[in-house]
Amino acid sequence: MVANNQPVNKHQRQKLEAVLESLSKDDRDRLFAEARKQRSDAQKRRNTKARESVDGERLGRGKRRPDPLIDWVLRLVERDFAHKREDAADDRELVEGLVVGLTRRRATVLPAGCDGADLSKHILCRLSAELAGRQQDGIAVGDRVLFTTLDVPADAVEHEVVSVLPRESKLARPDSHDTNQERVVAANVDVVVIVVSVVSPPLHPRLIDRYLVAIEWGDCTPMIAVNKADLLPAGELDEALKVLEPYEQAGIPIAVCAAVPGDDSSVRVDGLRELLAGKTCAFVGHSGVGKSSLANALDESLGIATKTVRETDHRGRHTTTASAMHFIEPGIRVIDTPGVRFFGLAEMSPDELRWLFPEFERFVHSCKFNDCAHDHEPGCAVKAAVGSGEIALARYDTYLRLLEELRTGGKPKDVSERIRSDFDPSDFDPDVFDTNG
Ligand code: GDP
Ligand code: ZN
């Protein structure tokens, strides 16, 4: 794995992942920071030609980055730490699994290679003391974990999650009490579906932009689902969808849906189902746009509580919105956690923001200055591309706005706060987050 981004074999990778997991938070933070920098430098070095093929790959297969951050991190683990653990192999037998459910002290784990729809394969595990202590960022639905059998069952639980393997991607938001602390609300998400509705509530492209930045930051891939298409006549619908052209231009898949179809039964959720086939996804978006309805429309047996139900039974939704992964045909895994509904930006520097607008990447290498912020600098290729229409003006505007916010306020909280301010405040229940990523 060290040379030329060659993928490691599975065994070697697991070993490096276990070493990484055993490191102190400081060491891990240092490795991630260095890996981020290395990757960003490599991105800068990459020439335009290479970028084009990468973009092509993104459109074709939905996954944009050829080498995820974690690969860079593991290379550093091998460089700095691998030798220390040669003889420290744990003598307990460890099995790999996937977290499909989570409460304060317990995780439901699906052993690797098992069919998630088969509930008899789900194993209830307690969390190791260390994991239970740092549940905010330590473990989330979607995490790959190592678990073991307990010598003595505790409260009828026979297994324990010992460690969490490094994540490929995550959906995180700052803690509402301490913005330097992040809460991971879902892990290893292939696609984050930003749900918007054409009307009620009306479509806000700026909100989409904020989600996009947060999604990029966690190394996830975005998609847009435009719901409630049944509420507009065809002509008006086409008109309303025009505001989404910049996203289409940026290569983001868009599915037009009607989770609760009216007279026009031609638009339902088939397009969305096709785009999500074989992927792990999470639905984010404004309250009331139809996130729950969409998941239910994909699979009628899910029975996720929708707005109308929740309004009549406010308390009851604590039990109906436990953190879980749902398995839907064809091979779709939907992560539904209360925290997903409120996710926002974690810590980010203005410099990092530059890498979170994928459609800029093709041009940044032609900017006169290496560290061009595409703001006031002369010879900026990004600005030129906005001028020639190759980058949408609306997206560039959003970039400048967010840049300004990060520079002046400096507090990422401001940005996430604005995402959150678009939510229905009655939907915000801190208790839910305490029990759950
Ligand atoms: P969430 O808060 O994003 O999960 O939204 P819900 O799924 O709870 O839906 C909010 C309301 O919009 C409910 O009353 C749904 O019945 C309604 N709704 C959801 N999707 C559609 C749709 O495609 N068309 C129409 N007409 N109503 C919808
Ligand atoms: Zn520039």
SS3 163: strand
Does 95 score more than 50 pLDDT?
A: yes
pTM, to two decimals: 0.67
Number of the ligand closest to the Cα of 368: 2
| Of 275, 310, 336, the domain-final residue | 336
The pLDDT tens digits of the residues spanning 154-172 come to: 777 889 999 999 998 988 8
CATH number of the domain at 362, please. Answer: 1.10.40.50
Does 346 score more than 50 pLDDT?
A: no
Average pLDDT of 1-13?
56
306 shares a domain with 184: yes
Give, using CA atoms, the residue closest to atom 11 of ligand 1.
288
More confidently predicted of 178 and 144 = 144
Per-residue pLDDT at 332: 94
8 Å CB contact between 345 and 185: no
| Of 280, 310, 336, the domain-final residue | 336
Per-residue pLDDT at 112: 94
Measured in Å, residue 69 CA sits from the centre of ligand 2 at 24
% of the chain at pLDDT higher than 90:
29
Average pLDDT of 2-23?
69
Average pLDDT of 130-140?
83
Q: Which of 52-66, 354-368, 400-414 is the least confident region?
A: 52-66
Note whether residue 3 is domain-resident.
Answer: no
Q: In this structure, what DSSP letter does residue 288 have?
A: T
Note whether residue 125 is domain-resident.
Answer: yes
* Cα–Cα dist 386/364, whole Å: 12
More confidently predicted of 212 and 109 = 109
Note whether residue 1 is domain-resident.
Answer: no
Structure tokens that stand for 152 in this block: 């003595």
Average pLDDT of 358-377?
91
Give, using CA atoms, the residue closest to atom 9 of ligand 1.
290
Per-residue pLDDT at 312: 36
Does 219 score more than 70 pLDDT?
A: yes
Measured in Å, residue 367 CA sits from the centre of ligand 2 at 5
- Measured between alpha carbons, how far is residue 314 from residues 291, 304, 330 in Å? 18, 14, 33
Does 127 score more than 60 pLDDT?
A: yes
| Of 164, 182, 216, the domain-final residue | 164
Nearest-atom number in ligand 1 for the CA of 285 is 3
Does 50 score more than 70 pLDDT?
A: no
Per-residue pLDDT at 365: 92
CATH number of the domain at 102, please. Answer: 2.40.50.140
Average pLDDT of 224-243?
91
8 Å CB contact between 183 and 282: no
Note whether residue 213 is domain-resident.
Answer: yes
Nearby residues of 29 by Cβ (< 8 Å), 6 or more positions away:
none
More confidently predicted of 417 and 11 = 11
Does 318 score more than 50 pLDDT?
A: no
Per-residue pLDDT at 15: 78
8 Å CB contact between 286 and 423: yes
Note whether residue 435 is domain-resident.
Answer: no
35 shares a domain with 129: no
127 shares a domain with 65: no
332 shares a domain with 356: no
107 shares a domain with 62: no
SS3 90: coil
Per-residue pLDDT at 414: 38
Which of 293, 299, 308 gets mutated to test ligand 1 (max ligand atoms within 8 A of its CB)? 293
291 shares a domain with 196: yes
φ/ψ region of 115 (left if φ > 0, alpha if ψ in -120 to 50, else beta) reads beta
250 shares a domain with 155: no
Nearest Cα residue to 422 out of 209, 181, 253, 236: 209
Confidence of residue 382 (pLDDT cuts 50, 70, 90): very high
Which of 307, 309, 426, 429 gets mutated to test ligand 1 (max ligand atoms within 8 A of its CB)? 307
Give, using CA atoms, the residue closest to atom 17 of ligand 1.
290
Does 384 score more than 90 pLDDT?
A: yes
Per-residue pLDDT at 278: 94
Per-residue pLDDT at 20: 87
Ligand 1 pocket list (CB less than 6 A): 227-228, 230-231, 258-260, 262, 287-293, 306-308
Measured in Å, residue 288 CA sits from the centre of ligand 1 at 6
The pLDDT tens digits of the residues spanning 234-271 come to: 889 999 999 999 899 888 999 999 987 655 556 689 99
* Cα–Cα dist 400/407, whole Å: 10
8 Å CB contact between 131 and 92: no
Q: What is the total count of domains within the chain?
A: 4
* Cα–Cα dist 313/315, whole Å: 6
Tell me the residue ranges of DSSP E strands in 208-341.
Answer: 221-227, 254-256, 280-284, 323-328, 332-336
41 shares a domain with 17: yes
Domain assignment of residue 371, given as a range: 350-427
198 shares a domain with 325: yes
257 shares a domain with 127: no
More confidently predicted of 222 and 423 = 222
Q: Which of 19-23, 221-225, 372-376 is the least confident region?
A: 19-23
Sign (positive/negative) of CA torsion 178, 181, 186, 191? positive
Does 418 score more than 60 pLDDT?
A: no
Average pLDDT of the chain, as a whole number: 77
Per-residue pLDDT at 342: 57
Nearby residues of 53 by Cβ (< 8 Å), 6 or more positions away:
none
Query: How crowded is residue 424: how many other Cβ atoms within 10 Å of its Cβ?
Result: 12
183 shares a domain with 127: no
Measured in Å, residue 396 CA sits from the centre of ligand 2 at 11
Note whether residue 341 is domain-resident.
Answer: no
Per-residue pLDDT at 62: 38
Average pLDDT of 400-422?
57
Nearby residues of 289 by Cβ (< 8 Å), 6 or more positions away:
195, 196, 197, 201, 227, 228
413 shares a domain with 354: yes
Note whether residue 315 is domain-resident.
Answer: yes
CATH number of the domain at 299, please. Answer: 3.40.50.300
Note whether residue 89 is domain-resident.
Answer: no
* Cα–Cα dist 42/143, whole Å: 28
Confidence of residue 145 (pLDDT cuts 50, 70, 90): very high
Measured in Å, residue 142 CA sits from the centre of ligand 1 at 26
Measured in Å, residue 160 CA sits from the centre of ligand 1 at 39
Average pLDDT of 361-372?
92
